[in-house]
Structure 1
Amino acid sequence: MKLKFIVAGLLTAISFGAFAADQTVVLDLSPAAANTFSSTVPGDGVLSGGLDVISFAGLNAGVYNIDITLSGQNLTFSDLTNLNGFVASDVINSGKFHFVGVSLTGPSPFTLNLMGTALAGAKYSGEVTISAVPEPETYGMLLGGLALMGVVARRKAKKAA
């Protein structure tokens, strides 16, 4: 049992240095056209240290469905890629990450951790699509509106007959 803790501690200590040269890209999603990103950061390699961090700012607290489409060359993304700790529900190798029902409760931004390996000359770019998940009250209002339209249509039909 002690051996497992020692090995886990050593692996954790070794991993701290691996993330020292990570690059960070901050996106402000307030303007609709600003939802693309690229891996070109001067003086820093793509996925250096095994991880790139992309932050999405400008969102209100709520529940979101987030699609991230990536295209690149000379790199492989790991299935450890996550968004605020949520792992993508779609297959990573297709170049599309789909995060369902990710909740943002505070003022801090979403943080996408792209993990993987890159060869010489690697680069990537991508696009982010964020859609808010409707609240249950939205569906209640929709059903109420449809019922009201049904009542109006029935009254019209009775008057015409």
Structure 2
Amino acid sequence: MKLKSLLLAALLAGAFGSAAANDYNAPTVPLTGGPIDWSISFGTSHQAGAFTDTYTFTYSGLPGTAAGFFGNVATSVGQIDFGTASLNATPLNVTNLGGLSFSYYTSIPVQGLLTLVITGTSYGVASSYAGTLDVTAVPEPATYGMLLGGLALVGVVARRRKLS
């Protein structure tokens, strides 16, 4: 009877112990700033094991480009090795150099809701990482057309005044 109880306890511990407790799904938060530049800081801590972190950000939704950085420096209590990362399904390069792990990215086209997914493995008692995400709106072609039209109009008015 004791063997059955021990087996049941081991199975239950294994089932609950293998849950994705190390994963982090951040609440959706707006980027700050605007109307041209937005930014936000993010990060979290992990106990030893594999993780998948998902961050969701909102901003004006205008087409733009994203740039940012996230990283971890090993401490006496742990370190992180990043596995993969993506921003709106665009893969980001990650680098793991012993006690230094990071990702630096620029010129990622974005629009609307932004989803950043980071996977990796934490070693030691506790590890954390932090980063920033910046979005710069790119004016639409119509905006450039209106600018050129306005400059042409100013040129015509200036030329008329000069001739008069």
Decide whether aligned partners of structure 1 residues 45 and 53 sit closer, same or farther in structure 2, where only a CA change above 3 A counts: farther
Correspondence for 1:96: 104
Deviation (angstroms), 1:99: 4.9
Paired residues in the alignment total 130
Correspondence for 2:43: 38
Q: Secondary structure at the match of 2:27?
A: strand
Q: Which letter does structure 1 place at the counterpart of 2:137?
A: A
TM-score (norm. length: structure 1): 0.64
More helix by share: 1
TM-score (norm. length: structure 2): 0.63
Deviation (angstroms), 1:31: 4.0
**1:152 aligned onto 2:157:** yes
Q: Secondary structure at the match of 1:152?
A: helix
The structure whose RCO (Cα within 8 Å, separation 6+) is larger is: 2
Q: Is the 8 A contact 2:50 2:120 kept in 1?
A: no
The separation in 1 between residues aligned to 2:55 and 2:111, in whole angstroms, is 17
Correspondence for 1:137: 142
**1:67 aligned onto 2:75:** no
Give the ranges of 4+ consecutive aligned residues of structure 1 lying more than 4 Å apart after TM superposition: none
Q: Is the 8 A contact 2:39 2:133 kept in 1?
A: no
Correspondence for 2:8: none
Q: Is the 8 A contact 2:66 2:106 kept in 1?
A: yes
Q: Which has the larger radius of gyration?
A: 2
Unaligned stretches of 5+ in structure 1?
1-17
Q: Is the 8 A contact 1:81 1:112 kept in 2?
A: yes
Q: Is the 8 A contact 2:39 2:135 kept in 1?
A: no
Compute the RMSD of aligned alpha carbons: 2.9
Over the matched positions of the two proteins, sequence identity in percent amounts to 29
Decide whether aligned partners of structure 1 residues 85 and 35 sit closer, same or farther in structure 2, where only a CA change above 3 A counts: same
**1:123 aligned onto 2:128:** yes
The separation in 1 between residues aligned to 2:140 and 2:57, in whole angstroms, is 22
Correspondence for 1:28: 29
The separation in 1 between residues aligned to 2:105 and 2:31, in whole angstroms, is 21
Q: Is the 8 A contact 1:27 1:34 kept in 2?
A: no
The separation in 2 between residues aligned to 1:117 and 1:98, in whole angstroms, is 24
The separation in 1 between residues aligned to 2:27 and 2:103, in whole angstroms, is 20
More strand by share: 2
